[in-house]
Amino acid sequence: MIDLTPDEFRRLGYLAVDLIAERMAAQPDLPVRQPVPADLRARLMSPPGGTTADPEALIRRVAEEILPYPMGNSSPRFMAWVNSPPAPLGILGDLLASAVNPSVAGGDHAATYVEHGVLHWIKSVFGYPADAGAILTSGGSVANLIPLAVMRHCKAADDMRKRGFNGEDFPMVIYTSTQGHSCIHKAAELLGFGSAYLRKIPVDSDQRMSLDALRDAVEDDRAAGLRPVCVAASAGTVNTGAVDPLRAIADLCAAYDMWFHVDGAYGGFGILAPSARAHYAGIERADSIAVDPHKWLYVPVECGCTLVRDAAAMRETFSLIPPYLRDDRALPWFSEFGIQQTRGFKALKLWLTLQQIGETGYSRLIENDIALAGLLQEKILASDDLELAAAGPLSVTCFRYRPDSEMEDGEIDALNRALLIRVQESGEAFVTGTELDGRAVIRACIVNFRTQEADLDRLLAAVRLAGEETLKADGNSRSRL
Ligand SMILES: Cc1ncc(COP(=O)(O)O)c(C=O)c1O
């Protein structure tokens, strides 16, 4: 029997909530993450469904086998990739949204209006008009794919929906920086432009797209008979948090009649932090913007968002309802503005969290993450055995452990790659690495309302310890040769 009586549901629901609350209480002292034992891994991967089980036993199994082995992003010392802890009210929002379980394809029910409500707020954050097109998505990758599809539709010489690229005489070209996120590359391939027609423009010393190099590339392509159609700028690169020169790129796009897209999946909401706001000047001129509430607005995954200035163009790209059948006395359906028909009620978790803390609460939290990153950078600069590799205006810090200034770059690369694995396995902190100008660096990204200064100290201590252990292990293996 799949159904539960209301009393059974209540009892199991309280049990699940208690389990979550217990982990929240213990969180500061828990390891950030721990390896999944081999036998458990095998058990989890074996196909379920051969037997039936008691619902309470199943929830207790989740408590024993799943909750103790998280990715780690609820911890204050998780500073990897761009994954925030889930705002607790957002967790309840997901539960309540599942209980309503609507399809937010559109129509006259509460979930539709809640989504429009949060979208109106996001538009206002970026200086977009209230009648711009907008839709919540699964995440940043789809939030970038959708507007690039609109761009393709608008920039095509022929009818893209009918003839695809078969109607095009000249290849269209897209520009992003070498630091642009891989989802732009993926979108260029998926949408049929082809990666050979995605130019990765060099960056300046601050890892921002070089405007001169961009202009040269556009001119070269025009001279070669190609059609430059779009610049996909970054408002917060994943590697260093660099924000491209948006106003200058807006000017260049206007001059060359190109679509100006901004990938703000990581950094877009940094605009709410007073210290970072000036970097976003010009974003309000973008034709489209991708942002990710499930990153810097701390709502549980999945929740991305696309904004497209020209709502009619967005609808023309996706709608299968012919204009003569459209009835615009009611709000048009979201399914006419994107890829999905059945759509989850993603808006509720954001609607709740946003009202809980308000825009000013978000400003304060995001500013605090940026300030913590600044503090981490100060600590690194004040240390003889650490070197700062890059620090953008947002909340990413790239650094290296360099205990001996005489060590060669290649040795430092190997040391930092090896120590990173030790740090991750220690459970004390979780950071990831990246490459900058061919050098291996440790990358700490703070989008975490739980992180405090003491967590930064624990991260740096874990890095030093892992570095010392790596050097010792290397010395031992050398002396055995
Ligand atoms: C700058 C940037 N763009 C796009 C993405 C992709 O977003 P998602 O992982 O939500 O699909 C990310 C993810 O980290 C990102 O940092």
Per-residue pLDDT band for 131 (boundaries 50, 70, 90) equals: very high
Atom number, ligand 1, closest to the C-alpha of residue 82: 14
Looking at the structure of the chain, the number of domains it has is 3
Residues 123 and 215 reside in one and the same domain: yes
Nearest CA to ligand 1 atom 5: 140
pLDDT tens digit sequence for 152-195: 999 999 999 999 999 999 999 999 999 999 999 999 999 999 99
Across 140-153, average pLDDT: 98
Output the CA 267–ligand 1 centroid distance in Å: 10
Q: Per-residue pLDDT for 481 more than 70?
A: no
Nearest CA to ligand 1 atom 9: 140
- Within-domain flag for 95: no
- Within-domain flag for 155: yes
Output the CA 266–ligand 1 centroid distance in Å: 6
Q: How many CB atoms lie within 10 A of CB 210?
A: 18
Q: Per-residue pLDDT for 255 more than 80?
A: yes
Q: Look at the block and give the residue holding tokens 């201590």.
A: 461
Atom number, ligand 1, closest to the C-alpha of residue 139: 10
Residues 281 and 316 reside in one and the same domain: yes
Q: What is the number of alpha carbons within 13 Å of residue 142 lying toward its C-beta?
A: 15
CATH code of the domain in which 436 resides = 3.90.1150.170
Strand partners, 259: 230
Output the CA 136–ligand 1 centroid distance in Å: 14
Atom number, ligand 1, closest to the C-alpha of residue 141: 11
Output the CA 89–ligand 1 centroid distance in Å: 23
Residue ranges of alpha helices (H) inside 289-404 are 293-296, 311-318, 347-381
Pocket of ligand 1 (CB under 6 A): 82, 139-141, 181, 183, 234, 236, 238, 263, 265-266, 292, 304
Q: Look at the block and give the residue holding tokens 């605009």.
A: 271
Q: What is the DSSP string of 239-279?
A: TT--B--HHHHHHHHHHHT-EEEEEETTTGGGGGSTTTGGG
Mutation choice for ligand 1 from 83, 266, 339, 446, CB with most ligand atoms inside 8 A: 266
- Within-domain flag for 74: no
CATH code of the domain in which 258 resides = 3.40.640.10
Nearest CA to ligand 1 atom 8: 140
Mutation choice for ligand 1 from 71, 141, 234, CB with most ligand atoms inside 8 A: 141
* Rounded Cα distance, 399 and 382, in Å: 13
Q: At what angle do helices 453-480 and 347-381 cross, to 10 degrees?
A: 60
Across 329-346, average pLDDT: 95
Residues 269 and 364 reside in one and the same domain: no
Q: Domain boundary residue among 52, 69, 86?
A: 69
**Which amino acid is present at 218?**
V
The two counts, helices (H) then strands (E), for the chain are 15, 11
Residues 10 and 146 reside in one and the same domain: no
Residues 234 and 338 reside in one and the same domain: yes
Residues 230 and 293 reside in one and the same domain: yes
Q: Per-residue pLDDT for 399 more than 70?
A: yes
Q: Of 104, 44, 86, which Cα lies nearest the Cα of 334?
A: 104
* Rounded Cα distance, 205 and 373, in Å: 19
Residues 279 and 408 reside in one and the same domain: no
Residues 387 and 335 reside in one and the same domain: no
Q: Domain boundary residue among 345, 368, 389?
A: 345
* Rounded Cα distance, 30 and 221, in Å: 54
Residues 254 and 123 reside in one and the same domain: yes
- Within-domain flag for 93: no
Q: Per-residue pLDDT for 479 more than 70?
A: no
pLDDT tens digit sequence for 293-331: 999 999 999 999 999 999 999 999 999 988 877 878 889
pLDDT tens digit sequence for 448-473: 999 999 999 999 999 999 999 999 99
Q: Which two tokens stand for residue 178?
A: 């070498």
Across 260-288, average pLDDT: 98
DSSP 321: S
Nearest CA to ligand 1 atom 2: 265
Residues 133 and 43 reside in one and the same domain: no
pLDDT tens digit sequence for 190-220: 999 999 999 999 999 999 999 999 999 999 9
- Within-domain flag for 402: yes
Residues 61 and 132 reside in one and the same domain: no
Residues 366 and 333 reside in one and the same domain: no
- Within-domain flag for 294: yes
Classified as helix, coil or strand, 467 is: helix
- Within-domain flag for 331: yes
Nearest CA to ligand 1 atom 3: 265
**Which amino acid is present at 436?**
L
Q: Domain boundary residue among 69, 87, 116?
A: 69
Residues spanned by the domain of 213: 102-345
pLDDT tens digit sequence for 365-393: 999 999 999 999 999 999 999 999 999 99
Q: What is the pLDDT of residue 480?
A: 59
- Within-domain flag for 416: yes
Average pLDDT score over the chain = 97
